[in-house]
């Protein structure tokens, strides 16, 4: 072969595909960070269902309490029910969030 012929450059290798996600959903490291550090949403189905049930019960209790208060004070039942709904929703969400926070910290402590 003569030296004046140049070979074409070698083709670059194909990009390496990312590794497949772990089977079974969210990795445990995410749950550990979510339970100890916070500031990220919990992706545990049981925690989310528990908080949704607590918020629903809080709404129901708030509406009933608002209706009782409205009937006792002869106020507008609609407004009292809506205020009770809001108070029940916020209160139940805060209380269930606090309980889930304590539960998450105890889960994380058991893993250590």
Considering the entire predicted model, what is its pTM?
Answer: 0.67
Q: Find out whether 32 and 102 touch, Cβ atoms under 8 Å.
A: no
One-character DSSP codes across the chain:
--TTPPPPPPPPPPPPPPPPPPTTSS-HHHHHHHHHT-SS----HHHHHHHHHHHHHHHHHHHHHHHHHHHHHT--HHHHHHHHHHHHHHHHHHHHHHHHHHHHHHHHHHH-
Q: Cα 96 to chain center, whole Å?
A: 13
pLDDT tens track of the chain, all 112 residues?
A: 555 678 788 888 888 877 766 566 677 777 777 777 777 777 888 989 999 999 999 999 999 999 999 999 999 999 999 999 999 999 999 999 999 889 888 887 887 7
């Amino acid at each position: 072969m003569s030296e004046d012929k140049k070979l074409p450059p070698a083709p670059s290798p194909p990009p390496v595909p990312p590794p497949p996600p772990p089977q079974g959903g969210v990795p445990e490291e995410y749950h550990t960070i979510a339970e100890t550090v916070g500031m990220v949403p919990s992706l545990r189905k049981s925690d989310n269902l528990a908080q949704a049930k607590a918020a629903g019960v809080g709404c129901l209790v708030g509406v009933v309490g608002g209706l009782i208060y409205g009937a006792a004070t002869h106020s507008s039942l609609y407004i009292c029910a809506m205020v009770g709904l809001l108070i029940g929703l916020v209160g139940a969400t805060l209380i269930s969030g606090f309980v889930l926070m304590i539960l998450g910290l105890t889960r994380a402590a058991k893993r250590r």
